[in-house]
Amino acid sequence: MKIEDLIAQIRQKKSFLCVGLDTDLDKIPNHLLKEEDPIFAFNKAIIDATHQYCVAYKPNIAFYEAYGLKGWKSLERTMEYLNENYPEMFTIADAKRGDIGNTSTRYAKAFFETMDFDSITIAPYMGKDSVEPFLEFEDRHTILLALTSNQGAYDFQTKTLDGQELYKEVLSVSKTYKGSERLMYVVGATKASYLEDIRKIVPESFLLVPGVGTQGGSLQDVCKYGITKNVGLLVNSSRGIIYASTGNDFAEVAAKKAYEIQQEMQIELSKIK
């Protein structure tokens, strides 16, 4: 997907919400367990109910991988369903991969070609030649971990490396990579004020922001420091939407939650000059 198409979709739906598909057999409504593919049945119902309020879906790959072949099949079916029925959706493989050159190329093929995702999350630790193979794919996007929203982010990411924090170094250095115009960044919302510094380094890039609501930061603060003329934000919510109800009304309640966030986002979008 071209970035312009993502921006157009955001403007049309007045939403920059990404729904995280962290689908867990222990948490989905009991009646779905009778289905032939309960994970896909759950995802399908969530997608059908929420698609008008969001612009992106982000399957968390670990949740599928944990079920082995069955899980990969559910993931493939989910992607086929999305690409057939809602081709306008921006799809994110939350995979946090990254390896040396020829191996990264394999991962890129797995997610961009075999499964036709628009984007993938990548860990930056192995540097340039582990990231650039992903950047070669036209109209696909690589979302590099910069500052994550978990406690472990303070182990390395916020420590000072050669004069600036490691996550800032990741932002600065990655801008020099070939194909860097296809980079986005994961930036946790635990301290929205970090976004002010981040915008000094990557003023235009799209940021994927997890952790709004449940893990801290407010949507208003994220927008205050992070929003750009072309929006430049995708804010993710997973459990707060997909598990808002575990009853028969789960899809309906998920839609209601997504709608509430979309309404807040509409207000923030109206502030862009």
List the catalytic residues.
Answer: 96
Considering only 78, 119, 130, 190, the residue that binds a copy of itself (CB under 8 A) is 130
Minimum distance between the CB of residue 248 and a copy of itself, rounded to whole angstroms?
25
Q: Does 270 bind a copy of itself (CB under 8 A)?
A: no
Residues between 59 and 118 that touch a copy of itself (CB under 8 A): 60, 62-63, 65-69, 72-73, 76, 94, 96-101, 103-104, 106-107, 109-110, 114-115
Distance, in Å, from the CA atom of 123 to the CA atom of 178, rounded to the nearest integer, reads 17
Minimum distance between the CB of residue 64 and a copy of itself, rounded to whole angstroms?
9
Distance, in Å, from the CA atom of 155 to the CA atom of 189, rounded to the nearest integer, reads 17
Distance, in Å, from the CA atom of 244 to the CA atom of 53, rounded to the nearest integer, reads 16
Strands (E), the chain: 17-21, 56-59, 90-97, 119-122, 141-147, 160-161, 164-165, 183-187, 207-209, 233-237
Distance, in Å, from the CA atom of 145 to the CA atom of 269, rounded to the nearest integer, reads 25
Q: Does 170 bind a copy of itself (CB under 8 A)?
A: yes
Minimum distance between the CB of residue 191 and a copy of itself, rounded to whole angstroms?
16
Distance, in Å, from the CA atom of 6 to the CA atom of 88, rounded to the nearest integer, reads 8
Residues between 187 and 246 that touch a copy of itself (CB under 8 A): none
Q: Which residues of 83-98 are buried (b: 16+ CB within 10 A; e: fewer)?
A: eeeeeebbbbbbbbbb
Nearer to a copy of itself, 128 or 256 (CB): 128
Which positions touch a copy of itself (CB under 8 A)?
Answer: 22, 60, 62-63, 65-69, 72-73, 76, 94, 96-101, 103-104, 106-107, 109-110, 114-115, 123-131, 145, 148-157, 159-162, 166, 169-170, 173
